[in-house]
Copies of this chain bind each other. A is one copy, B any other.
Amino acid sequence: MITSRENRWLKRFRAALSGERGGDEIVGVEGVRLVEAALGSGLPIEALLVSESGTRHLPRIAHVLASRVTVLRTSDKLFASVADTQTPQGIAALVRPRQATIESLLTGTPLLIVMAGVQDPGNVGTIVRAAEAFGATGALTCLADGIGTADPFAPKALRSSAGSALRLPIVHGASATILFGQLKMFGVKTLAAVAARFAEKNRKDNGPDDPSPLLRPWDFDWKVSTAILIGNEGSGLPANLVRSADARVYIPQAAAAAPVGIESLNAAMAASVLLYEAMRQRNTPGQPRS
């Protein structure tokens, strides 16, 4: 027998776990790792839902489970009916993610990743995860040529981020124009990530008259305030964003791969490599850059 209160909660979990975000911006997270990340993030938790078999995970999250969190119990069957995963672990939470402001991301020596038109939630999540791992100070998403970026707080992106989206400061849905203005004002260098194939071709076509510097990752001094722009999986960054950037950066491809027209690295891999290079340089103090 389900009470109407229980029913209301189950409905709420079903909607949130399937990616629906109501006006209150609450998101659902599922599985012990993400629930642990959510509870440990210090973000407001609306409720925790635990099924009979999910009870076994409670010891693991005990250290982060504040007494004021509403814990709801349900059956495995009902849990499965609200879960978004194939083999649910029986534990889920409703959490209100933090939206950072652009200004808050511009203090210190920021290392930012700006996703402009990255459509795949898995790629967005992977990029956010890499950003946190490599010590980026924030991530932003914006519209590019009418192509939006997937919501970093949507279930699939959250899963791919392994919870990083709950910890890393994120601005979702910035205006590219406003963002560029602020980055410039705060002296943050903007680097447009471009595909190797495009870059090499461009270098040949334009010769020394290239409109903006075309750099390999190790040509750039990452110890300054930097924002990396990553574009759409298929079409890359829009031309106007590339033109607005201080420099273009590309990851060279081996000669063997180039002539056969191999696809450039995917958006998430390119972002990871650039973030790694930033971390490497920032981790080797006094090292002459090369």
Chain A positions within 8 Å of B, measured between CB atoms, are 33, 36-37, 40, 126, 129-130, 132-136, 162-164, 167, 196, 216-218, 251-257, 260-263, 265-266, 268-269, 272-273, 276-277, 279-280, 283-284, 287, 290
Contacts and interface: CB of A to CB of B under 8 A. Distances in A.
Nearest to A166: B260
B280 A126 contact: no
Contacts of A134: 253-254
Count copies of this chain in the complex.
Answer: 2
B290 A253 contact: no
A234 to B, nearest CB: 12
A280 B217 contact: yes
Contacts of A263: 33, 129, 162
15 contacts: A33-B263, A37-B260, A129-B265, A130-B269, A132-B256, A132-B262, A133-B196, A133-B251, A133-B253, A133-B257, A133-B265, A134-B254, A162-B263, A252-B279, A272-B272
Nearest to A273: B276
Contacts of A287: 290
B279 A133 contact: no
Given A130-B269, A269-B272, 9 more contacts: A129-B265, A132-B262, A133-B196, A162-B262, A162-B263, A217-B276, A272-B272, A273-B273, A284-B290
Given A269-B269, A284-B290, A279 B254 contact: yes
Nearest to A275: B273
A216 to B, nearest CB: 8
Contact of A40 (B252, B254, B260): B260
A180 B4 CA distance: 64
Given A218-B280, A254-B279, A260 B167 contact: yes
A218 B262 contact: no
Contacts of A273: 272-273, 276
A284 B216 CA distance: 11
Nearest to A126: B269
Nearest to A261: B36
A281 to B, nearest CB: 9
A257 B290 contact: no
Nearest to A290: B287
A218 B284 contact: yes
A261 to B, nearest CB: 8
Given A164-B257, A269-B269, A273-B276, A133 B262 contact: yes
A273 B162 CA distance: 19
Contacts of A33: 263
Contacts of A136: 254
Which of A37, A130, A136, A269 has the most CB atoms of chain B within a 10 A radius of its CB?
Answer: A269
A22 to B, nearest CB: 28
